[in-house]
Structure 1
Amino acid sequence: MDNFDFHSALHTGLAIPAHPLALNSSRKLDEQRQRNLARYYIASGVGGLAVGVHTTQFTIRDPKIGLFEPVLALAAEEMNRASRPLVRIGGICGQTKQAVNEAAILKKHGYHAGLLSLGAMSTATEGELIAHCCAVAEAIPVVGFYLQPSVGGRTLPYSFWRRFAEIENIVAIKMAPFNRYQTLDVVRAVVEAGRDDIALYTGNDDNIVADFLTPYRFNSKERRIIGGLLGHWSVWTKRAVELLDRCRNADATPELLRLGIEVTDTNAVFFDAANGFRGCIAGLHEVLRRQGLLEGIWCLDEHETLSPGQLEEIDRVYRAYPHLHDDDFARQFAV
């Protein structure tokens, strides 16, 4: 596994779930359940894990919490035990000094690339953003991240992505603006930069299937979104892996488009779209709790919980789409 070419693996199109944080009732790390989550994902057939990202809760970086490096280390240990190599992606946040320091921690634990959030750079100019990205890319291969503004991202124009695509050590981009116009900006920028070596991944949890089925063509050059790095895929993961296999290089059919709407319906509920995504992490935790993978839905922020009516909506999509869940499989990994 020492010779694992993660660049080539990314370009095969992988299912990469965003790894949640397992807490006990005291809101402390539940190490056994944290490990079991990783084991569940690996057994589901994922191509990699994304750790220390939004779904893991950005607050793990708070010095009073001190969980950023421990959760990275736990996931790395479980990936080391896997029978096959996995792409290891860790979240990177903060201003440049913090981001470069986090890149060093990722490398220390054997992570291949950093998913670079620009949420902390809300007032930076485009030039300052590019300089920041270049500094991080000198420390570790970078997966670009277009995070939707409603959960801490910022709007990034085509001109930014065109310059970003010229940075040498960019290996992939996760597009998660939940916006077709902005997703289009990223794909066009990568194509027009001539960067065939940048893998395109969806983070648009509201449009997963359609993203996979859509060919983008600019100046006779066609590109497709080939994989997913998704918070939504932290639940019902075995079915997510099967979904990607089914959609890879497929043409749009009425059946697949209908399936895409079903997936979007479940995501709207899990992510609490009706309430501005306030219950998005708690919603994922509730699904994992039902499967026995988490003890409860606790988040580091005690105010972060399910929204009114969200529990009933989760009941609804469970009844409506039994073919989308993997509860029987997941329960093998319950404590």
Structure 2
Amino acid sequence: MTMNLNPDIRRILQQGVVIPACPLALGAGRKWDERRQRALLRYYLDAGAGGIAIGVHTTQFAIREPQHDLYRPLLRFAAAEMAKCDRPVVRVAGVCGGTEQALLEAGFARECGYHAGLLNLSALAAASEDELIDHCRRVAEVLPVFGFYLNPAIGGRLLPYSFWRRFAEIDAVVAIKVAPFNRYQTLDVVRAVVEAGRDDIALYTGNDDN
């Protein structure tokens, strides 16, 4: 089964909006601070952000580790705050790890009301292209997918045009965040989406060189 995106949310994505990757708010004791996290989320929403991505910022890479175990509490907390907004907000949840972990995270994000999963492939550094595509297809059966080309310098992996061409053929891909910090790799993604005939995939950038 392929997951479909709410038409209103798809329309917002297609228009092009700011979707900040929300940092983790800590108190003086370096513990998660719900009051500060709520204030940060409200700031983004009051400033007019079209969506918020949770569990994807570099400050949140460790939230899945057992000693912190913050992935589920944070996603649930942020979803509740975004639901209070008086306008539609694109809710994006980070989805990481191997296929088993990614499916669990995608399922939980869907239960919390997230619209798409920003799919981080860093944990699959040794996977073949076929294995990567299979991984993406399986996640897309649970939650619409927001592709993510992460800068290899901070844990991403090089993903060739051939990967993005096949990735763009997955029906439940709704957007791609292109952030390899390399204009030629960025063009690989753009060309792949165009040549796949997908005018319904929204392209977002995290590049500072574009």
Question: Structure 1 regions of 5+ residues with no counterpart?
Answer: 211-335
Aligned counterpart for 1:130 among listed residues 126, 130, 133: 133
Which entry has the higher C-alpha Rg, 1 or 2?
1
Aligned counterpart for 1:151 among listed residues 151, 154, 176: 154
Q: Provide the residue aligned with 1:51 in structure 2.
A: 54
Structural RMSD (CA) = 1.1
Question: Structure 2 regions of 5+ residues with no counterpart?
Answer: 1-5
Q: Provide the residue aligned with 1:184 in structure 2.
A: 187
Specify the code of the residue in structure 2 equivalent to 1:24.
G
What SS class does the counterpart of residue 39 from structure 1 fall into? helix
Structure 1 residue 26: Cα displacement:
2.3
Aligned counterpart for 1:20 among listed residues 7, 18, 23: 23
Report how many residues are paired.
Answer: 205
Q: When the two structures are superposed, what TM-score results if normalisation uses the length of structure 2?
A: 0.95
Deviation per residue, 1:293-321 (Å, 9 max, x gap):
xxxxxxxxxxxxxxxxxxxxxxxxxxxxx
Q: How does 1:218-237 map to 2 (within 5 A)?
A: none
Q: How does 1:230-249 map to 2 (within 5 A)?
A: none
Rounded to whole Å, the distance in 1 between the matches of 2:142 and 2:200 is 19
Q: Provide the residue aligned with 1:82 in structure 2.
A: 85
1:110 aligns with 2:116: no
Structure 1 residue 56: Cα displacement:
4.1
Structure 1 residue 164: Cα displacement:
0.5
Rounded to whole Å, the distance in 2 between the matches of 1:90 and 1:198 is 18
Structure 1 residue 93: Cα displacement:
0.3
1:9 aligns with 2:12: yes
Percent identity over paired residues: 63
Specify the code of the residue in structure 1 equivalent to 2:22.
H
Rounded to whole Å, the distance in 1 between the matches of 2:16 and 2:190 is 16
Rounded to whole Å, the distance in 2 between the matches of 1:4 and 1:64 is 39
Q: Provide the residue aligned with 1:93 in structure 2.
A: 96
Specify the code of the residue in structure 2 equivalent to 1:127.
D
Runs of 4+, deviation exceeding 3 Å: none
Q: When the two structures are superposed, what TM-score results if normalisation uses the length of structure 1?
A: 0.60
Higher percent of residues as helix: 1
Q: Provide the residue aligned with 1:164 in structure 2.
A: 167
Deviation per residue, 1:27-72 (Å, 9 max, x gap):
2110100000000000000000000003342110012101101111
